[in-house]
Structure 1
Amino acid sequence: MSGSDLIVDFQLLNKSASQLNAIEDEFKNLDEWKDDVKSDVGASDIKDAMGDFVDNWDKNRKRLLESLGEVGKQVEGTRDAFKKLEDELAKSGKKKK
């Protein structure tokens, strides 16, 4: 293999994109637990503390979801760009023969 050879692991890129989407879906679905937690806690001080925690969690979860979405798009974009390049190079190689 020469120094200019590039090997792209499409299987890894596909798996990474799929896993990022699955993680993003899990975080989106975590919203439902908030009401369960609030109803299970009895004392008002604990409810207030849990309310603060849940509010903070929501803010951070939203930021994390945005980041997961962006990284997922970048992985998919990288995969698609390399696949397109690979297809173009394959077509170019066939034309020369």
Structure 2
Amino acid sequence: MSGENLGIPFEALESFGGEVDSIKSRMNGLGRTFDGYEDDLGDSGVVEALDSFVDNWRDGRGEIDEQLTSIKEITQNIITFFSDVDGEYAAELSEDGSGGGGQQQAV
């Protein structure tokens, strides 16, 4: 890894957080989507099967929702941590004048 730079795509991570919110919103709206088509499905067996699916989906959705929330929080923590570190390094370089001027530092 010698000579490689670490690049953190902050913009991509920030947009990822928005995508997680979008997934959660669509996931949580699934039951309402089926309710809107109930009259168009015709056979009561299909309606009952979809109702059963939506009920089971609601049961498991809470866990998925929590996991998506955790993923978003972890992503935000990564952004915050690396932004802070980047700021600290930039401040150190500005303070000690070692911003690439070739000066030697005391050992």
Normalised by the length of structure 1, the TM-score is 0.76
Normalized per residue, the structure richer in helix is 1
Q: Distance in 1 between matches of 2:81 and 2:87?
A: 10
Q: Which residue of 1 aligns with 2:2?
A: 2
The structure that has the greater radius of gyration is: 2
Q: Which residue of 2 aligns with 1:27?
A: 27
How far residue 74 of structure 1 moved from its aligned partner, in angstroms, is 0.5
Q: Which residue of 2 aligns with 1:82?
A: 82
Q: Which residue of 2 aligns with 1:49?
A: 49
CA displacement, residues 29-77 of structure 1 (integer Å, 9 cap, x when unaligned): 3342242244444444333322211111112222222111110111111
Asked if the contact 1:17/1:72 (under 8 Å) is kept, the reply is yes
CA spacing shift, 1:48–1:25, aligned 2, 3 Å: closer
SS of residue in 2 equivalent to 1:6: coil
Q: Distance in 1 between matches of 2:49 and 2:29?
A: 22
Q: Which runs of 5+ in 1 are unaligned?
A: none
Asked if the contact 1:38/1:51 (under 8 Å) is kept, the reply is no
Q: Which residue of 2 aligns with 1:14?
A: 14
CA spacing shift, 1:66–1:5, aligned 2, 3 Å: same
Q: Distance in 2 between matches of 1:24 and 1:10?
A: 21
User: How many residues align structurally?
Assistant: 97
Q: Distance in 2 between matches of 1:41 and 1:4?
A: 58
Of all paired residues, the percent bearing the same amino acid is 25
